[in-house]
Amino acid sequence: MSSEQQPTGNSRTGDEYPTDASPDSEVPNEATSISRRRLLSGAGAIGTAFIFGKSTELAAQTEQSSPILDPSSDTSKVLGTPGTELGQRSPHEKISRFLRPGRPWTSGTPHEDLMGTITPSDLHFERHHSGVPAIDPAKYALLIHGMVDRPSVFSLDNLKHFPSVTSVHFLECAGNYPSRPDENTRPSRVAPLLSNSEWTGVPLRILLEEVGVDPDASWLIAEGQDAVKMNRSIPIEKAWDDAMIAYGQNGEPLRPEQGYPARLFNPGWEGNTSIKWLRRIEVTKQPSMTREETVRYSEYTKGNKIRQFSFVMDARSLITSPGYPETIRPGFVQIQGIAWSGRGKISQVEISVDNRKTWQPAILQEPVLSKSCTRFHFPWQWDGEPAVIWSRAKDETGYRQPSLDEHKASRDGRRGYHTNFTVGWNVGADGEVAYYPQEDWKT
Amino acid sequence: MKSPAQLLPKAKIIVAGSGLLFAASFSLGQEAITGSTPEDRIVVTTDQDVAIGIHPGTIEDLHDYRSNPERRSATYNLGRAATEEEISAWDIGVSPDGQGLPAGSGDSKRGAALYALHCAACHGQEGEGIPPNGALVSDGNNGKTIGSYWPYPTTVFDYIRRAMPFGTPGSLSDQEVYSITAFLLYRNDLITEDTVIDANNLPGIKMPNADKFTPDDRESYNYVH
């Protein structure tokens, strides 16, 4: 069968995001076009000052504006503000998730504004299908029933009295790639629906053992108490691996948009399986074949087949700097970003500064944790010539992040969920950095 | 090496459309070994444990749990017994075999009026979709519609009852959900206009795309697959 004859499961007319996103992308495009020139004018001036900073004339100007010599910027002669109940970011730091008009059920993590590996909880991406429910923790109940010896109800307090575990893991939506990136696409817009947190909760296995599971049971149907009663079928093996009922995130209770007061968390798996606002687990012999595991979160693969229960998130990397809309100057440039794999630990991140002719290993910042974001650094001496920089990740199973061509070949040219190919950043002779467009998708 | 049956004893009972769900990743993995792949590409393993992403060792504990009835007693004595009333209040799930479908029935004629009232504002008068809401009814080439993509008819009933109408979920009676389901199946040429659907015949309605669904076998490979 020729490709032209195949059904176009990814036709833009057939899904929730038909106007400007592929059906399997849950990532908003840029909402507004900010004037690149305006953004860059300030950065350019700073760069110029650095390069020629030693000239006598400019040194004199610098002296006049020196914070060291400016009494008004000396805070050491007045009392500071007292302690507060709730800390706030510096008023000088304007950092936020990004929204998109007309797309109320998602917000993205601003990766280029962050450092390290932990996503501050208030910047963790959001993806829900019908809004954030307001749940009173005193009225929270988790029902476990089905093929169990003792159908049971657990309160939030009950959950917190079971043995707990804490571990750091990323959470990534399966549809985490923009439908139509262009040169003005920022790093965060390439993978906005990814965040990394320290999660605390009770291992799901312990809860199942507590209610007594029928040895013939194979699946768990997890369901939330949001307005779509989001539900997914989970193989029971995941409970005996690392699934947990999480009630803590980064040292505090879950944020409402992350499933308060308790959620399922499946490390390394597509985000939709980690049911938020969890209210029910039914233990069964067979999957429920819910809308979210048939119509959504499935993808065309080779031979006109549709892959289902594609749980694991494959290895991926993202350069967070330099990227659009930065301007760099010749000399030392620290290339840095994050890499992650749902299969385990990141074993290597490679950087190319010559548009993929050669690759060199980046430095991995410890600790490198399983199914967690790893920060990488690469010291680059930029000679001022145009360049295209790339990153690619490899994990401990030997899996290497694919190129776009490899990715397309594995799916007969279609895109869809679980998009994880390598992306590049174009550096012009003027130091301006732009996304390197490479897509040519079958629609 | 363990057989799929040993590791996932219930894999075989998974319903039609994805029968032998995980066993299928076995044969696919072995296929790839004989294929002409670049030297740096290897099939990681055909071991079932890895194929579904489970660490060896933890799966052994599951086997132990399943074979030791004494492990099924409560350890922490937290929580309380759920009542039948509580379970039935929340247990709304519907399985592909029809388990969970309620009493009642519906047909497309009644469904047409209900669809116009409750659904058309977002999904279009003909189910053609109103952006950003996708089409529900197939016109031959318009994406993931019920007729062109959905593998199970029971999912239509379940999702309407679970989540629709958007913003007022739970406001339709089971009878009304059956009728809207019938209307959508009829408009996708999956049943006749006069067919009355209920818990008995809904699961058996054939979905044209069902046989395309295959299990995920990516973790049998260390490259994009």
pLDDT in tens, B173-205: 999 999 999 999 999 999 999 999 999 999 999
**Average confidence (pLDDT) over B21-30:** 31
Q: Which domains does chain B have, with CATH numbers?
A: 4-76+213-220 (no CATH), 92-210 (1.10.760.10)
Q: Are A304 and B212 inside 8 Å of each other by CB?
A: yes
What was the pLDDT predicted at A436? 96
Query: Last residue of some domain: A254, A279, A307?
Result: A307
Query: What's the CA gap between A405 and A426, in Å, rounded?
Result: 19
Residue A186 has pLDDT above 70, yes or no: yes
What was the pLDDT predicted at B144? 87
Residue A343: which residues within 8 A CB-CB, separation 6 or more? A268, A312, A314, A315, A371, A395, A396, A397, A399, B53, B219
Q: Are residue A424 and residue A321 in the same domain, yes or no?
A: yes
Residue A241 has pLDDT above 90, yes or no: yes
For residue A355, the tally of other CB atoms under 10 A from its CB is: 14
What was the pLDDT predicted at A61? 59
Give me the domain span that covers residue A424: 312-435
Q: Are residue A258 and residue A318 in the same domain, yes or no?
A: no
Q: Are residue A181 and residue A205 in the same domain, yes or no?
A: yes
Asked if residue A190 belongs to a domain, the reply is: yes
What was the pLDDT predicted at B151? 97
- Cβ–Cβ contact A130 with B under 8 A: yes
Q: Which of A216, A241, A305 sits opposite B212 (nearest CB)?
A: A305
Residue matched to tokens 């074993």: A347
**SS3 sequence of A26-51:** CECCCCCCCCHHHHHHHHHHHHHHHH
Asked if residue A291 belongs to a domain, the reply is: yes
Torsion-angle region of residue A393: left (phi > 0), alpha (psi -120 to 50) or beta?
A: beta
Q: Are residue A282 and residue A221 in the same domain, yes or no?
A: yes
- Cβ–Cβ contact A289 with B under 8 A: yes
- Chain A residues close to B144, C-beta within 8 Å: 9, 14-15, 23, 295
Best of A4, A13, A234, A414 to substitute, by most chain B Cβ atoms within 10 angstroms, is: A13
> Cis peptide leading into A322, omega within 30 of 0?
yes
Q: Is the dihedral of CA A264, A269, A273, A276 positive or negative?
A: positive
**Average confidence (pLDDT) over A295-309:** 94
Q: Are residue A247 and residue A385 in the same domain, yes or no?
A: no
Mean pLDDT score across all residues of chain B: 79
Asked if residue A37 belongs to a domain, the reply is: no
pLDDT band at A249 (very low <50, low <70, confident <90, very high): very high
pLDDT band at A35 (very low <50, low <70, confident <90, very high): very low
Q: Which of B8, B72, B214 sits opposite A307 (nearest CB)?
A: B214
Note whether A339 and A315 are within 8 A (CB): yes
Strand-pair partners of A86? none
Asked if residue A119 belongs to a domain, the reply is: yes
Query: What's the CA gap between A358 and A350, in Å, rounded?
Result: 9
Residue B201 DSSP label = T
Angle between helices B174-187 and B153-163 in degrees, nearest 10: 130
What was the pLDDT predicted at B195? 98
Query: What's the CA gap between B175 and A229, in Å, rounded?
Result: 20
For residue A129, the tally of other CB atoms under 10 A from its CB is: 20
Quick check: helix, strand or coil at residue A159?
Answer: helix
Query: Last residue of some domain: A281, A307, A333?
Result: A307
Residue A230 has pLDDT above 80, yes or no: yes
**Selected residue with higher pLDDT from A420 and A38:** A420
Nearest residue on chain A to B142, alpha-carbon basis: A14
Tell me whether residue B108 is exposed, middle or buried, using C-beta atoms within 10 angstroms of its C-beta: 0 to 12, 13 to 18, 19 or more.
Answer: buried
Best of A25, A179, A220, A240 to substitute, by most chain B Cβ atoms within 10 angstroms, is: A240
Residue B112 has pLDDT above 60, yes or no: yes
What was the pLDDT predicted at B53? 39
Q: Are residue A151 and residue A131 in the same domain, yes or no?
A: yes
Q: Are residue A283 and residue A382 in the same domain, yes or no?
A: no
Note whether A201 and A137 are within 8 A (CB): no
Query: What's the CA gap between B78 and A242, in Å, rounded?
Result: 21
Q: Are residue A126 and residue A274 in the same domain, yes or no?
A: yes
Looking at B91-146, list the stretches that DSSP marks H as alpha helix, in order from N- to C-terminal side: 108-118, 120-123
For residue B44, the tally of other CB atoms under 10 A from its CB is: 17
Structure tokens at B36: 């002409």
pLDDT band at B122 (very low <50, low <70, confident <90, very high): very high
Q: Are residue A264 and residue A351 in the same domain, yes or no?
A: no
ipTM (interface pTM)? 0.85
Residue matched to tokens 């132990």: B64
Query: What's the CA gap between A336 and A111, in Å, rounded?
Result: 11
What was the pLDDT predicted at B140? 66
Quick check: helix, strand or coil at residue B179?
Answer: helix
pLDDT digits (tens, 9 = 90+) for A356-396: 999 999 999 999 999 999 999 999 999 999 999 999 999 99
CA angle A258, A260, A266 (to 5 degrees): 55
Segment holding B163, helix H or strand E: helix B153-163
What is the number of CB-based contacts under 8 A between chain A and chain B?
A: 253
Q: Are A289 and B11 inside 8 Å of each other by CB?
A: no
**Average confidence (pLDDT) over A247-264:** 98
Residue B73 CA to its chain's centroid (Å): 32
Structure tokens at A417: 């969920």
Q: What is the CATH number of the domain that holds A262?
A: 3.90.420.10
Note whether B162 and B172 are within 8 A (CB): no
C-alpha distances out from residue B109 to B114, B160, B171, Å: 9, 17, 20
Structure tokens at B61: 């504990």
Q: Are residue A187 and residue A285 in the same domain, yes or no?
A: yes
Q: Are B14 and A16 inside 8 Å of each other by CB?
A: no
What was the pLDDT predicted at A367? 97
Angle between helices B108-118 and B174-187 in degrees, nearest 10: 100
What was the pLDDT predicted at A20? 35
pLDDT band at A40 (very low <50, low <70, confident <90, very high): very low
Q: Is the dihedral of CA A395, A399, A402, A407 positive or negative?
A: negative
Asked if residue A49 belongs to a domain, the reply is: no
Q: Are B54 and A240 inside 8 Å of each other by CB?
A: yes
Q: What is the CATH number of the domain that holds A375?
A: 2.60.40.650
Query: What's the CA gap between A16 and A27, in Å, rounded?
Result: 12
**Selected residue with higher pLDDT from A229 and A178:** A229
Cβ within 8 Å of B, A 40-99:
none
Percent of chain A with pLDDT over 70: 85
Strand-pair partners of B105? B198
Nearest residue on chain A to B61, alpha-carbon basis: A240
Asked if residue A145 belongs to a domain, the reply is: yes
Residue B22 φ then ψ, to 5°: -90, -25
Query: What's the CA gap between A409 and A404, in Å, rounded?
Result: 8
Number of domains in chain A: 2
Query: Last residue of some domain: A307, A339, A364?
Result: A307
Which of A7-16, A33-42, A240-249, A389-398 has the weakest average pLDDT?
A7-16
What was the pLDDT predicted at A56? 55
Asked if residue A151 belongs to a domain, the reply is: yes
Q: Are residue A207 and residue A272 in the same domain, yes or no?
A: yes
Residue A227, amino acid: A
> Cis peptide leading into B165, omega within 30 of 0?
yes
Residue matched to tokens 């008004």: A72
Residue matched to tokens 């990227």: A323
What was the pLDDT predicted at B131? 85
Q: Are residue A171 and residue A152 in the same domain, yes or no?
A: yes
Asked if residue A91 belongs to a domain, the reply is: no
Query: What's the CA gap between A270 and A175, in Å, rounded?
Result: 9
